[in-house]
Structure 1
């Protein structure tokens, strides 16, 4: 059994170009993905400056993206993070939200997502205020599916350290107050979960009163620490039995669009193959499909360096790797070279300002 598969483009860092995104859309659609949710943290008109519309140029780009995703047979969604909308949720905020939801509808969305991730959470009546905002937007949109992401979107205590102590009963209250049709994104026991298992998902579904849509923070590599690595291995630690406990499974992509497609191709394999799934064989199959035999073989040989050793400890290996990939005319090889040169390495300041 395979759940709805998707990509939630909701990371920090450099926004993909239109060509990069077009490649990802075509690749995932051909692999059987069902939806694409657009909400990069660096798109300020969806986050820090959510009250203002996209520019005419950006709006036209998003209309083209919507048409591309739908033509490929997937649902297109956009994610709004209404910073400051819950406290206060007043007449002005309602008017601003109504205007922005209408603007997203005009772009052409099948799914509307209202996100509260990576925002302060130590505020009074948090679950009730957030549910009120989501339900208000759900009542306005023409989208036929509505999603939200809580402030506390994992059991991980790091969220309490960074965003304030989560209110008692937060998840249960949110699930009780949200409209029944709203889907809730959830990352697992950790923000970047090493394993996601049926028992955990069943417990969260019971608490929320609905199955979650998995927001899988892999192969994402944003932030000052993770951007030093390229997450290329096939998916591991995800049980195909999870399908019985979730409404969907979406990956959060890496900064590198072409390289993202390698692990992304292994998600449908995991569910389709079940107990026969082998992550090593899945990587080989996906890498050959995306890169061809030669580049795939090189990447497999260097997988430990890219994924486990990382940029800070390359040392003398860096020059060898540059020579090894510089003679290959392939966009994935160019992404590797860009990473080797440090072009996609992030700082804490970038995250804080997005």
Structure 2
């Protein structure tokens, strides 16, 4: 594993949400889109892929595995760092020799993808056990020994200071972040979402304290524009990431990845905004107009605040038919994603949280 200091900061997209995963053909297009935007990373970690989470000990069926191999190759050819996010569900609660052997088998299988980035994700799992940091560090140490990836990242169980995590997943063990930071090798990146799971703002001053505990600059898992939850699924987020000061964030982070929406093309305005945070010369409006269609992008710009502030039900009640007719008439792939969202194709299903 290469030293993180010798590798460029990762900036790009995470397919890391619950609910409807992206179609394979759209994932392939992202290799081109990310390169055109000057971004450099695609982390494949959809919660709907059971072979990365609940059924992590199993292997993908042959057809799905071939598609995953092809996806890794397409991104490699485009110069994009392709990553796999493995969530070995609650493995730290029973890291027996049998389970350890299963993990080794999984990592060795993933090695055949030749993906340069491996993320071990302990997010959204029960965490109230006193030796949580030590057990997770043991798992990561084994993954480092077995993996061929040039860089490895970890998502802690408590990946934000947001109180909601303790309400849902149990009390955070005393000293968890300090102990995890001390136990993980310095070159391992650690994900952080901010002071909230879906942070309204990300400021350098707020990251200094967690960086000190984790003994390294965090890598931002920015939960913008993600819209997979019960409340956020009622909205579309079509603007650049808000209140992110890239000039200051550069010095206190190792990377910045945005978790996408369930709608892959409608995620592009936020990603173009991410790219322009770090490269002011990027003509994001021109790129978006060309990629999404001039008329479609103009409509999305006009409606961005409306879609952010009013939920889908309110829109349908007040001017839903007019919006449906307009976007249906545009007949572009991005416009069709708006139509599908308005019609309820992406309605939040609580069952997705237990997949």
TM-score by length of 1: 0.94
> Structure 1 252/41 Cα, relative in aligned 2: closer, same or farther at 3 Å?
same
Q: CA–CA distance in 1 between the matches of 2:304 and 2:215? A: 41
Task: Extract unaligned runs of 5+ from structure 2.
Answer: 1-7
Give 3-state SS (helix, strand or coil) of 2:299's partner.
Answer: helix
User: Which of the numbers 343, 348, 351 marks the counterpart of 2:350?
Assistant: 348
**2:277 maps to 1:270:** yes
Q: Which moved more, 1:22-31 or 1:120-129?
A: 22-31
Structure 1 residue 38 displacement after superposition: 0.6
Structure 1 residue 45 displacement after superposition: 0.4
Q: CA–CA distance in 1 between the matches of 2:290 and 2:210? A: 36
Q: How does 1:40-55 map to 2 (within 5 A)?
A: 40-55=46-61
Structure 1 residue 301 displacement after superposition: 2.1
Q: Which moved more, 1:45-54 or 1:231-240?
A: 231-240
User: Which of the numbers 171, 174, 178 marks the counterpart of 2:180?
Assistant: 174
C-alpha RMSD of the superposition = 1.6
Partner residue, 2:101: 95
User: Which of the numbers 333, 341, 348 marks the counterpart of 1:331?
Assistant: 333
Partner residue, 1:120: 126
Partner residue, 2:305: 304
Q: Which moved more, 1:2-11 or 1:14-23?
A: 2-11
Q: How does 1:1-354 map to 2 (within 5 A)?
A: 3-240=9-246, 241-273=248-280, 284-285=285-286, 287-314=288-315, 315-351=317-353, 353-354=354-355
In the TM superposition, structure 1's runs of 4+ consecutive aligned residues that sit over 4 Å from their partners are: 282-286
Kept in 1, the 8 Å contact 2:14–2:44? The answer is yes
1:73-110, Cα deviation, whole Å (9 max, x unpaired) = 01111011111211221101110000000111112211
1:30-80, Cα deviation, whole Å (9 max, x unpaired) = 111111111100100000000111111111010000001111101111011
Give 3-state SS (helix, strand or coil) of 1:233's partner.
Answer: coil
Q: CA–CA distance in 2 between the matches of 1:289 and 1:249? A: 25
Give 3-state SS (helix, strand or coil) of 2:231's partner.
Answer: helix
Structure 1 residue 298 displacement after superposition: 1.5
Structure 1 residue 292 displacement after superposition: 3.0
Structure 1 residue 284 displacement after superposition: 4.5
Q: CA–CA distance in 2 between the matches of 1:242 and 1:110? A: 24
Q: CA–CA distance in 2 between the matches of 1:285 and 1:214? A: 27
Q: CA–CA distance in 2 between the matches of 1:81 and 1:66? A: 19
Structure 1 residue 168 displacement after superposition: 1.1
Q: CA–CA distance in 2 between the matches of 1:79 and 1:301? A: 35
Task: Extract unaligned runs of 5+ from structure 1.
Answer: none
